[in-house]
Amino acid sequence: MTDLLTPVMSANWADDRAWKLTNYERRDGYKALRKALTMSPGDVMGVVKDSQLRGRGGAGFPTGMKWSFVPKDNPNPKYLVVNADESEPGTCKDMPLMMASPHTLVEGVVISSYAIGVHTAFIYVRGEVLHVIRRVQQAVREAYSAGYAGKNILGTGFDLEIIVHAGAGAYICGEETALLDSLEGRRGQPRLRPPFPAVAGLYASPTVINNVESISSVPAIVLNGATWFASMGTERSKGYTLYSLSGHVRNPGQFEAPMGVTLHQLLELAGGMREGHQLKFFTPGGSSTPILTSEHVDLPLDYESMAAAGSMLGTKALQCFDETTSVVRTTLRWIEFYNHESCGKCTPCREGNWWLVQMLQKFEAGTAQEGDIEKMLDVCENIGGRSFCALADGGVACVTSAVKHFREEFEAGYHTPAWELFPYEKSALFATPPSTDEPRTAVEAHA
Amino acid sequence: MSGHEFTSYFPNSGGIDLDDQSTNIDDKTIEELEQLASRYPQARSALLPMLHLVQSVDGRISPRGIEVCADILGITTAQVSGVATFYTMYKRRPGGRHHIGVCTTALCAVMGGDVLLERMEHKLGIHDGETTPDGTFSLDRIECNAACDFAPIMTVNWEFMDNMTPERADELIDELAAGQEVHSTRGARITSWREAERVIAGFPDGRADEGPAAGDPSVLGLRIAQEHGWHAPDPAAIPAPAEEESK
């Protein structure tokens, strides 16, 4: 029986100056790279395939299989792009990983590039995380100096350039084809598929795009073996992963556990919900995954069980809200996010999310009219599945799942404002006395 | 008049401010922009970093910055402004010395982000998207910044300010206004928005070693595992798969 928690990627996060190369090496860092370079690229890919690692960025596609889609006979250079654009509301695992142990990612990049036959890799980090960018930039420089990157890596003749690239603020760039357009110096808008990036990605060349956590899982898999990794988790969701608990829980945080742990178990470790409150609803993996309720806390948090419950495992971002929270308000704020972040390329998403905001504002204000729930669901039907990418589907999932589980709160929006039913100050973590300060600019006017 | 005035549904959208032609871009900046372009297999990939550098020099996306980028990359100024106006980190009006971000996406909003934004608007006497008349602070409501286990959060010059309260937010503004030393809760000493933009563009400032490896929530699971002696299985105890043994 595997332990309840299995820190592997996060095992060194509490170390003093964990981000430094020497400290990473002291923990067997880059040992997996040395081992990989004694194997053939095909064998390294085989290990990752056999481990049954599935993409940790949300979709859960088998990582090794994704790599194997890269055509061998394409004369163009092949590229690896790490998606470090972590922006899905609730998702907060890749940033602490890169801040505490950027070398785990860098080692994963070198091993993965070797397996796929890549000589130029990119780490696309969202722009709004200055210190994470600093740590990743420094780790890459250290890796070059130590001979783990650059020309003739560890004397094996394998060359790899690693480019750290910062984005500029756009959720949509976490979508892999939008990310590629952004990395080509364009507006980040998704591409129509096919062709898939494995065939025609960056610069129309074969490209593998993987999430930070997927690539960071590779070193331990190579070092300890596919069987070791697959000995953890459930039948079809193998290994360990980072679960992120946030919201009204007593002790929010990161928990690295085997696939299939339950929210009930994680909440116990986190000290439960904040004192005197109960769980009302949660997202299993970010706001784009349909919400679930306290009925679902004993379900294994793996790909299959979440799908069976009508949701998705997504990024394993467990945002937990207690009974003080208005579902209508929360849904409105999520849809405002999707409306703001829609890239504007596809009409159903660009216009549809805007209309959903208008409707949800009425539900929140208690001025919606009888029949507006049906109208809103009808609008959702005309958005979902009708755009190039999944952004709109994510927005629609918020609305439809909220109505499914909490229809009565939307019906209350026909006559009563959400802030009367659920006084907003009760959901906040602090009491809110009115500010007594004069505006700073007014003070300075006569300074 | 129809009596029905047109109002844009997309406030703050629109083009670059062409009325303000001022610039600090000099030969050194152009050299650095060219250096960024040379880091990529195809030069245009450098456009996002180049625009970050333009901001760090001019305090906004300036008309001159757009021309220079277009010139170096061999693309049109329309192509460059098209990119500059797509991403939220690029500012079309001069930004303040410090950029204050308040997360108001659902989870932070519910847990206090809305209160924090209101408080900051009152404290600074400006609305989100604006800069104080003295040029010290710009205020933005920001979208989820991947720190939800530290909610509600704010940012200063894109450094994390975790577990914020209205009182702490007020103090933060006072300290920054007074030029006192302020540290990110999970990052370095606060410098300025323009210095931050230079690092984001790809020119390190040597501050990567400041601050902790992780915040308490980041290592909560690890600490609990250590207390209980929980860990992943010992690889040596895992039986090798049958087909490998027979090889």
Inside any domain, residue B57: no
Domain count across chain B: 1
Give the model's pLDDT for residue B245. 42
Structural domain of B141: 98-191
Give the model's pLDDT for residue A1. 74
Omega before residue B133 within 30° of 0, cis: no
B142 and A87 in contact (C-beta within 8 Å)? no
> Which chain B residue shows the shortest CA-CA distance from A251?
B217
Q: Do B132 and A130 touch (CB under 8 A)?
A: no
Closest CA to A269 of B92, B225, B216: B225
Contacting residues of A for B213, CB less than 8 Å apart: 13-19, 99-101
A150 and A156 in contact (C-beta within 8 Å)? no
Inside any domain, residue B177: yes
Inside any domain, residue B112: yes
Inside any domain, residue B161: yes
Enter the tokens of residue B135.
């040029």
CB atoms within 10 A of CB A305: 21
CB atoms within 10 A of CB A268: 11
Domain CATH number, residue B143? 3.40.30.10
- Given a cut of 70, is residue B161 above it in pLDDT? yes
Q: Do B148 and A246 touch (CB under 8 A)?
A: yes
B152 shares contact with chain A (CB less than 8 Å):
yes
Enter the tokens of residue A361.
């504002």
In 3-state terms, what secondary structure has residue A165? strand
Shortest Cα distance, chain B CAs vs residue A32, angstroms: 14
Q: Which comes out higher in pLDDT, residue B28 or B9?
A: B28
Closest CA to B88 of A352, A178, A209, A343: A343
Q: How far apart are CA A141 and CA A147, in angstroms?
A: 10
Probe site for chain A from B60, B118, B132, B200 (most A CB atoms < 10 A): B200
Closest CA to A130 of B246, B236, B150, B190: B190
Inside any domain, residue B165: yes
Probe site for chain A from B144, B207, B227 (most A CB atoms < 10 A): B144
% of chain B with per-residue pLDDT over 90: 87
CB atoms within 10 A of CB A250: 13
Inside any domain, residue B117: yes
Q: pLDDT digits over B85-123, tens only?
A: 999 999 999 999 999 999 999 999 999 999 999 999 999
- Given a cut of 90, is residue A222 above it in pLDDT? yes
A312 shares contact with chain B (CB less than 8 Å):
no
Give the model's pLDDT for residue B247. 39
% of chain A with per-residue pLDDT over 90: 96
In 3-state terms, what secondary structure has residue B197? helix
Enter the tokens of residue A90.
């609730």
Enter the tokens of residue A222.
């190579």
Backbone angles phi, psi at A62, to 5 degrees: -55, 125
Give me the residue from A254, A429, A442 closest to B221, CB to CB. Answer: A254
Inside any domain, residue B103: yes
Closest CA to A332 of A295, A376, A293: A376
Task: Tell me how far CA of residue B184 lies from CA of A102, A130, B135, in angstroms.
Answer: 19, 11, 21
The sign of the torsion formed by the CA atoms of A50, A56, A62, A64 equals negative
Length of chain A, please?
Answer: 447
The amino acid present at A276, given as its one-letter code, is: G
B175 shares contact with chain A (CB less than 8 Å):
no
Contacting residues of B for A171, CB less than 8 Å apart: 143-144
Q: How far apart are CA A205 and CA A200, in angstroms?
A: 5
Order of strands across the sheet that contains B137-142: B130-131, B137-142, B98-103, B154-156, B159-161
Task: Write down the pTM of the prediction.
Answer: 0.95
> Which chain A residue shows the shortest CA-CA distance from B200?
A166
Probe site for chain A from B35, B42, B48, B132 (most A CB atoms < 10 A): B48
Q: Do A227 and B241 touch (CB under 8 A)?
A: yes
Q: How far apart are CA A128 and CA A225, in angstroms?
A: 36
Q: Do B144 and A90 touch (CB under 8 A)?
A: yes
The residue with tokens 């500029």 is A168
Probe site for chain A from B39, B100, B105, B226 (most A CB atoms < 10 A): B105
Inside any domain, residue B107: yes
